[in-house]
Structure 1
Amino acid sequence: MITKPKVPVGQRKDDRAMIRILATSDIHMNVTGYDYYADCTDTRIGLTRTATLIREARQQAVQNDALVLMFDNGDSLQGTPYGQWAAQTIRHTHPLPQAFAALGYDAVGLGNHDFGFGVAFLEQIAEKATYPILCSNMRYKALKSPWHPYAILPRSVVLNGNNEPICIGVLSVLPPQTLQWEAHKLKGKAEVEDIVTSAHHTAANLKQLGCDLVVALAHTGLGADTFENGQENAAIPLAEIDAIDAIIAGHTHLTLPGPGHAGLKHVDHARGLVHDKPVVMPGWAGSHLGIIDLSLKRDQNKKWRVENSKAELRSIQSDVDGSTVAEDAEISAFFAAGHVETKAQSAEPVGRITKPLHSYFSYCGSDRSLSLLAEAQAAAVKPFLANTQFADIPVLSAVAPAKFGGRAGPRYYTDVPAGEISMRHVADIHVFPNELRAVLANGAQILDWLEMSAGLFSQLSKDGPHLLTNPHWTGHNFDILYGATWQIDLSKPARFNCDGSLVDAANSRILDASFNGTPITEDQIFVVVLNNYRANGGGDFPVAKNPRLISLPSLRIQDALRDYLAGNLQPTLLAETVKPFSFAPMGSRTAILKTGPNARNYIDELAEYRPIDLGLDDEGFMQVQLTL
């Protein structure tokens, strides 16, 4: 194991030793506090600002003779055009390991998105890292792995004015679904184990190896309160493991402590305790710094025991006046050159559009950005279907919103003005480094596909208004299948839960599903073009349970969109219907759409719903009452 000894200095006379754990999670290469999609500064994000909080929190701890441990909890390497630039520009040393080293990170865990650029890329990162990169529940089959299953950190704490040795064990776990989501990068190369099962035996092993405390870097959120093998969000049962003393959680981009997890069983959301164990979840994009303070005593057997703990979050943006902390000059310098090159790369023109593209109304109105993406996907795949057995099979193109507000906030929407379009706009429409896939699906699977997507919506009753969408449903799991048309009846209950499990086979929200004006039959066969995440089972859509994949070369979706906008792909006219779905008449029932405040610029596009602007909610989302 890689270790890095640190010895605190000081003469605090106390029979308790103090440890401060600092944590970041889900940075997603938001390192500069800059929105490359909108080409403007964004003071709500960025490691350069989190770094200021890190230094302040570290200094406070050192002044109190506390040992400081610094961790990142995964999904740091992918998520912005800067991350794309850094991954593709091999001649440069990746700046993130340099910044982590300068900030004194003791270990970094892996998240599912860290595999988005492949294992070879992770190997390059590991070569430059001065800290251990960890993943306990994924085993790489090659002789040399870029990550370690755990780390053992020998350190010292101040006790009664003396430096006393202490040994910290660190494990790291991620969703087992990572192997499925990133199958195109990991298939045949890795094996994955359940989060809780892996953490249980890894923590026990660390204790047997002499670790006094165990910290879990858990790239997982707070979901079900009881153990289920293969859980994506397993932080609650994880906290039941006796050998684990503190947990850094993440993956869902939420925060803890905080009201977002109020009401969950075994969770004290105000104090950041799960099963009475300290847990922090520091948001995303560098928005928060997580802090866990531990007070330790030695028991009669001279073993260290946690006596008290405190979990807190510090935000880079004040909740009182909206002010933000300053950027750290040293950390900003690491990212300066890449920032300039990313801006230049993002500004490269690729074509022109005659109407603006935005995602403010993806759930109810026309989304020209999605119809453009659907057309580009179909146009890129069509040549590979020609002169094959699939040439005459009708084609559908499945797309879903990439930027839809949600946990990322009211500014996280695609918004591209008419006129010249550049690479930053391409990334704004489709933010992920996904590849194209094509599958065969019959009509019954298509209908279930649409039913699964329709689960996004709330069931509307006469005593409304209700929120139009289920807040527990993830926006990128709302697929629109261009080429087909259908209605959604929101008076009916959903057929599927958000995890893809069947609620009731008798439930049906989808009406009048058609292709070229003819009803879709259960035995009709289609080619569906989609991204690798969905084809690999991401989102738990029923169609991915038995996928019939069509062989394609490696095709990046962003490249297909760029080529289509540049006029290098032959149009298919698949997405001529900009809004292929509509809502069945609801007798003037009302629903509340939450969207970004800049949607006011396009409110006339919702005229069919007689929209009423209800103002902004506490999070800054615009609330629009719709009549269906």
Structure 2
Amino acid sequence: MENPPADARTARLRLLATTDLHMNLTGFDYYADRPDPTVGLTRTAQLIRAARREAESLGWQTLLVDNGDSLQGTALGDWAAEQTTDRHPLMQAFDLLGYDAVGLGNHDFEFGLGKLEEILAQSPCPVLCSNMRLIGSRAPWQPSLILNRTLQAEGQPVPIRVGVLSVLPPQTTQWAAHHLDGVAEVSDILETAEATAHDLRQQGCDVVIALAHSGLSTEMARPGLENAVVPLAAIDAIDAIVAGHTHLTLPGKGHEGLRQVEQTTGKVHGKPVVMPGSAGSHLGVIDLTLTRSAHDRLRVTESCSALRAIYGRDQTGIPQPTVSEDPQLTKVFAKGHAATRIQMRKPVGRTTTPLHSYFSFCAPDRGLALVAAAQAAALRGFLEGRSEAELPLLSATAPSKFGGRAGPRHYTDVPAGEMSMRHVADLHVFPNELRAVIVSGRQIRDWLEMSACLFNRIKPGSRDSALIDPSRAGHNFDVLHGLEYAIDPSGPARFRLDGSLIAPDHNRIDHLTWNGQPLCDEQHFVVALNNYRASGGGHFAALAGAEAVDLPPIRIQEILRDYIAGRRPKDPLEQTPPPWRFADLGGTQVILRTGPDARRYLGDIAALKPVPLGTDTEGFLQIRLTL
């Protein structure tokens, strides 16, 4: 930031931001069918209105933006995408709250380009994406935006031109290849942002804001970065950044040790940055002081970044709302809310045992086993009469609800008894489609080694080390059903986060067998999996050269629904032993963080001698396990 000259006049601009709403419009969990005070635009709206009132009382101008991944992520989002009679509820909310611009994130393409175009046509404000273009057709978004506003500088009106750009991960076309392959191209975040910001300056913009659906990482500037906010902030022409994608918060903890990042102030390379969590949990606020001398343009000379949360936690870790739900938005969402609850209550079948994900990272997960069997049953049907049917069949699954950055309530929890559609959605949250690949035993071993990188390296004989590496995403913990293997977390990880090899002799997978026999490198298998993993999501190098099996498009949620309802035959995978276990580490003790409701199921992990240690400041239950 620059020092103002002696004859300068100052004005102020407040930027308000949301990100990664994932269609959490109400303070309600549709999977558990209960209120949830930790989510919901209905609460964030109250913070938006309050922040605006503050700014107006001080004579400041306000801008309101969203940073993408707003359209997909809850059962309400699925309902909104399917219905065609009413205006999309999120577009109604953006209208009511007076959003000035909206960026796109990678998950906004999950329903396909046609549906996205239909929804964006209802937007009350410009929709931006600077680094994606469609091939041979016009995109329903624009690459950048200039907002002309008037500020007050010591009682005098001062015109200002604010440029806004928006970037998303270049991997988006890979993750959503079933919708975007051959029809869209994504350019590099840094190259695009620098060129677009420069162009906005050339058009006379006094301030340039970057909506970056991207996180912060330790990686240096290079082409193709997924989480590029740190080098993005070093671009001179950019004044402020709204970050997202990783569901973390800034200012706030979660970015310790990153160079050029002041996590308590939100400054990155000295620039103001906010990352407002996810699901409406926080409102990002950036206050900019702009200075103008008699012969100069407006310049940002001071800034302040802050987050405002919709909830806090009491001494026992239970979340308590800090604001009520906005009555206007609640009324707007009432129809969709009621319709979604009705849809989620539709009966599907039964389960004789509870299905939950509290112990997905330390013991066999019956919910994942059910999804795996459903995938396998569907794949067998598609392969009937084809040469691939002669190969042994495996099924890969990973937890979609595992706490982590989404908080201690974000776990699958299906009680024994009647199952409805909300339970199906609870078992597999995402609108993924079924895919299949043919892989060798060697590829399978590398696949599992990448999955096992979820764990911290544990020293044998140690006590109370954290079991899980928080930098690794839980949805990348693939379990291959139909095999048996042990995971030894005392060994070094074979792969880095980006899938690059650390060392080929680093091993955590042991006693890998199929049909009771050691797995051979040259054996081949056909594996059922989801489109995200098959398209390269999670950076599994073992799948880069896998042979794809041609299948018709079908969602895994539909497959699971039909399997539970008995419309598909029971699959032999249901009769196979649990796929994995921990290697014996001679009584080594580790700490697992999980949801507090896991107390009800401690008997499921009796072999690990669980000892509950209470909840931490974020509300997670800590359990000591013995390996």
TM range (shorter): over 0.9
Q: Distance in 2 between matches of 1:399 and 1:387?
A: 25
Q: What is the TM-score normalised by the length of structure 2?
A: 0.97
Q: Distance in 2 between matches of 1:455 and 1:208?
A: 47
Q: Distance in 2 between matches of 1:460 and 1:550?
A: 38
In structure 2, which of residues 134, 138, 147 is the aligned counterpart of residue 144 of structure 1?
138
Aligned to 1:98: 92
In structure 2, which of residues 444, 447, 451 is the aligned counterpart of residue 446 of structure 1?
444
Aligned to 1:347: 345
Q: Report which stretch shifted further, 56-65 or 85-94.
A: 85-94
Aligned pairs for 1:233-248 (under 5 A) are 233-248=227-242
Q: In the alignment, is residue 34 of structure 1 matched against residue 33 of structure 2?
A: no
Kept in 1, the 8 Å contact 2:272–2:305? The answer is yes
Aligned to 2:585: 586
Aligned to 2:370: 372
Aligned pairs for 1:488-507 (under 5 A) are 488-507=487-506
In structure 2, which of residues 383, 386, 394 is the aligned counterpart of residue 385 of structure 1?
383
Aligned to 1:401: 399
Q: Distance in 1 between matches of 2:434 and 2:463?
A: 40
Aligned to 1:230: 224
One-letter code aligned to 2:117: E
How far is the alpha carbon of 1:543 from its aligned partner? Answer: 2.6
Kept in 1, the 8 Å contact 2:313–2:618? The answer is no
Q: Report which stretch shifted further, 455-464 or 263-272.
A: 455-464
Q: What is the TM-score normalised by the length of structure 1?
A: 0.96
How far is the alpha carbon of 1:19 from its aligned partner? Answer: 0.2
Q: Which runs of 5+ in 1 are unaligned?
A: 1-13
Q: Distance in 2 between matches of 1:597 and 1:56?
A: 33
Q: In the alignment, is residue 65 of structure 1 matched against residue 59 of structure 2?
A: yes
Q: Distance in 2 between matches of 1:213 and 1:137?
A: 20
Kept in 2, the 8 Å contact 1:493–1:507? The answer is yes
- Closer, same or farther in 2 for the Cα pair 1:150/1:578, shift >3 Å? farther
How far is the alpha carbon of 1:490 from its aligned partner? Answer: 1.9
Q: Report which stretch shifted further, 141-150 or 130-139.
A: 141-150
Where 1:344 maps in the other structure, the secondary structure is helix
Q: In the alignment, is residue 429 of structure 1 matched against residue 403 of structure 2?
A: no
What is the root-mean-square deviation in Å for CA atoms of aligned residues?
1.2
Kept in 2, the 8 Å contact 1:299–1:305? The answer is no
Q: Distance in 2 between matches of 1:232 and 1:445?
A: 25
Aligned to 2:251: 257
How far is the alpha carbon of 1:587 from its aligned partner? Answer: 1.1
Aligned to 1:4: none
Kept in 2, the 8 Å contact 1:366–1:578? The answer is no
How far is the alpha carbon of 1:87 from its aligned partner? Answer: 0.6
Percent identity of the aligned residues?
A: 55
Aligned to 1:110: 104
Where 2:575 maps in the other structure, the secondary structure is coil
Q: Distance in 2 between matches of 1:457 and 1:160?
A: 57
Kept in 1, the 8 Å contact 2:447–2:540? The answer is yes
How far is the alpha carbon of 1:261 from its aligned partner? Answer: 1.5
Kept in 2, the 8 Å contact 1:225–1:265? The answer is no
Q: In the alignment, is residue 527 of structure 1 matched against residue 526 of structure 2?
A: yes
Kept in 2, the 8 Å contact 1:482–1:575? The answer is no
In structure 1, which of residues 183, 191, 197 is the aligned counterpart of residue 191 of structure 2?
197
Kept in 2, the 8 Å contact 1:376–1:560? The answer is yes
Where 2:9 maps in the other structure, the secondary structure is coil
One-letter code aligned to 2:509: I
Aligned to 1:3: none
Q: In the alignment, is residue 131 of structure 1 matched against residue 125 of structure 2?
A: yes
How far is the alpha carbon of 1:516 from its aligned partner? Answer: 1.0
Q: Which runs of 5+ in 2 are unaligned?
A: 1-7
Aligned to 2:82: 88
CA deviation digits over 1:237-288, x for unaligned, max 9?
A: 0000000000000000000001221221101111110000000000000000
Q: Distance in 2 between matches of 1:52 and 1:578?
A: 51
Q: Distance in 2 between matches of 1:152 and 1:303?
A: 16
Where 2:114 maps in the other structure, the secondary structure is helix
Q: Distance in 2 between matches of 1:299 and 1:211?
A: 16
Q: Distance in 1 between matches of 2:607 and 2:463?
A: 19
Q: Distance in 2 between matches of 1:323 and 1:335?
A: 19
Q: Distance in 1 between matches of 2:519 and 2:356?
A: 30
Aligned to 1:209: 203
CA deviation digits over 1:413-447, x for unaligned, max 9?
A: 00000111000000000000000000000110001
How far is the alpha carbon of 1:300 from its aligned partner? Answer: 5.2
How far is the alpha carbon of 1:577 from its aligned partner? Answer: 3.7
Q: Distance in 2 between matches of 1:300 and 1:464?
A: 66
Q: Distance in 2 between matches of 1:497 and 1:302?
A: 49
Q: Distance in 2 between matches of 1:99 and 1:141?
A: 31
How far is the alpha carbon of 1:21 from its aligned partner? Answer: 0.1
Aligned to 1:456: 454
Where 2:475 maps in the other structure, the secondary structure is helix
Q: Distance in 1 between matches of 2:574 and 2:478?
A: 14
Q: Distance in 1 between matches of 2:77 and 2:529?
A: 23
Q: Distance in 2 between matches of 1:415 and 1:319?
A: 22
One-letter code aligned to 2:537: G
How far is the alpha carbon of 1:319 from its aligned partner? Answer: 5.0
Runs of 4+ residues over 2 Å off in structure 1: 299-302, 318-324, 462-465, 575-579
